[in-house]
Amino acid sequence: MLHRLRISLAVGAMLVTSLVACKKDDTTTTTTSSSNSNPDPITVSACTSTATGIAKIVCLADAFKSQLDGTQVSTLQRTYAVSDAKKWSNLPQGLVQSSSKRVGLNFGSMTSAQIQYAKALIKEVSGTTTNEGWDEMQQLLNADDYLAANGGGSSTYGAANYYIAFLGTPATTGTFEIQFGGHHLAFANTYKDGVLTGATPSFRGVEPFATFTLNGTSNQPLQQEAAAFSAMLTGLSSTNQTAAKLSQTYSDLVAGPGQDGTFPSTSVGVKGSSLSASEKALVVAAMKTYVYDTDDTNAATILATYTSELDNTYVAYSGTTAMTTRNDYVRIDGPHVWIEYSCQNGIVLSGTHPHSVWRDKSKDYGGN
């Protein structure tokens, strides 16, 4: 936590200046959403005494299903198939091609109580760090409600247009995935015989990029990622920063939605073995902002693997080191980890907004 605070202090002034420059005049206006599509999660008393881990996850999944009617259950739960696992996108559902549309049950078709049960499960399988995991997902739903109320329209944007699906039956044996996503969000945890075998692909984006207020709550999802990347790049020695700089301009992600297995055959940038201990620490801090989106126990294990591979991990970027202006781009490319971040033009609002993805080269879709 102290390390995160140092990162924020080191780049805070620069980031705030850049973000203010790219926000629309009404970005900080308090907006009241008329939708009831984003209620808080419920405490499921039947599961509170259940041991943490897979037993509690299964309990919460069953509790959620118990609130649904038969048609809803059949929409929510499908036979496990990688083809369905690959149906995620950065786009709102209404703009996704019909053959690639998300599967599952959308919040807009559920009652407030049913959504509370769904979110109790999502909260359990995601991280507890501030501005990451569960907290970040809540802010991303708020961002989409903000877009719906500020020019995007509720038929395309808003928390009602997010989907949850069970690919396979949640149980302590067998394979299943808990999939949740919508515009700018894809969360996918795959379990086999009670063990998390993959937490990727994991997509995050946000518009507006600058801090915004919704229903009296301040939101700033992905600013922490931008700050961590900027600190990582500006913390490199001049020699290493030069080695990390790419000559090519990147206006989008290389391994984004629909681009499974498109990792470059040759890694580029500055190699981890050339970095000092302090420079490596900044790389780890940047990775945490993605790995910490999954539950705390599994996140620690995943991060330990990525940290052990730092000497063979590459850092590369193009554009500026601020990570807030158009075509600012950065990647972390290791034996297993692949993280990309790309700053692009706004769609509904003026200014810029980021897209980013975390993949694992051997564990996307649980390695299936």
Question: Which residue from 120, 130, 133 is spatially nearest to 291, judged by alpha carbons?
Answer: 133
Same domain, 185 and 97: yes
Q: Are 319 and 300 in contact (CB under 8 A)?
A: no
Band (pLDDT 50/70/90 cuts) for residue 37 is low
Same domain, 155 and 66: yes
Band (pLDDT 50/70/90 cuts) for residue 35 is very low
Rounded mean pLDDT of 148-176?
Answer: 97
Rounded mean pLDDT of 287-313?
Answer: 98
Rounded to an integer, what distance in angstroms lies between the CA atom of residue 316 and that of residue 318?
7
Which residues are CB-contacts of 283 (< 8 A; sequence separation ≥ 6)?
A: 232, 272, 275, 310, 313, 315, 332
Rounded to an integer, what distance in angstroms lies between the CA atom of residue 222 and that of residue 137?
10
Same domain, 307 and 242: yes
Q: What is the pLDDT of residues 225-246, one digit of tens each?
A: 999 999 999 999 999 999 999 9
Same domain, 157 and 240: no
Q: What is the pLDDT of residues 164-190, one digit of tens each?
A: 999 999 999 999 999 999 999 999 999
Q: What total of structural domains would you count in the chain?
A: 2
Q: Where are the alpha helices (DSSP H) in 79-181?
A: 82-85, 112-124, 133-147
Same domain, 353 and 229: yes
Same domain, 186 and 269: no
Question: Which residue from 363, 347, 351 is spatially nearest to 95, judged by alpha carbons?
Answer: 347
Same domain, 262 and 339: yes
Residue 38 in any domain: the answer is no
Residue 35 in any domain: the answer is no
Provide the domain limits for residue 123: 45-218
The predicted structure's pLDDT at residue 215: 83
Choose one of 218, 248, 277: the last residue of a domain.
218
> Taking 60 as the threshold, does the pLDDT of residue 26 lie above it?
no
Residue 356 in any domain: the answer is yes
Choose one of 192, 218, 244: the last residue of a domain.
218
CA angle 293, 240, 277 (to 5 degrees): 60
Rounded mean pLDDT of 296-312?
Answer: 98
Same domain, 234 and 306: yes
Same domain, 65 and 190: yes
Rounded mean pLDDT of 201-216?
Answer: 95
Residue 37 in any domain: the answer is no
Residue 248 in any domain: the answer is yes
Rounded to an integer, what distance in angstroms lies between the CA atom of residue 238 and that of residue 241?
5
Same domain, 180 and 235: no
Which residues are CB-contacts of 265 (< 8 A; sequence separation ≥ 6)?
A: none
Give me the percent of the chain exceeding a pLDDT of 70.
90
Band (pLDDT 50/70/90 cuts) for residue 216 is confident
Choose one of 177, 198, 218: the last residue of a domain.
218
Strands annotated E in the chain: 77-78, 105-106, 163-167, 175-182, 185-192, 195-198, 202-205, 212-214, 217-219, 270-271, 314-318, 329-333, 337-345, 352-360
Question: Which residue from 184, 145, 179, 175 is spatially nearest to 164, judged by alpha carbons?
Answer: 179
Residue 36 in any domain: the answer is no
Tokens 């984003």 map to which residue? Answer: 38
Band (pLDDT 50/70/90 cuts) for residue 25 is very low
Same domain, 233 and 358: yes
Question: Which residue from 27, 6, 83 is spatially nearest to 365, judged by alpha carbons?
Answer: 83
Tokens 């907006």 map to which residue? Answer: 31
Residue 62 in any domain: the answer is yes
CA angle 91, 160, 168 (to 5 degrees): 75
Same domain, 223 and 211: no
Which residues are CB-contacts of 222 (< 8 A; sequence separation ≥ 6)?
A: 136, 204, 205, 206, 209, 354, 356
Q: What is the pLDDT of residues 63-114, one digit of tens each?
A: 999 999 999 999 999 999 999 999 999 999 999 999 999 999 999 999 999 9
Mean pLDDT of the chain: 91
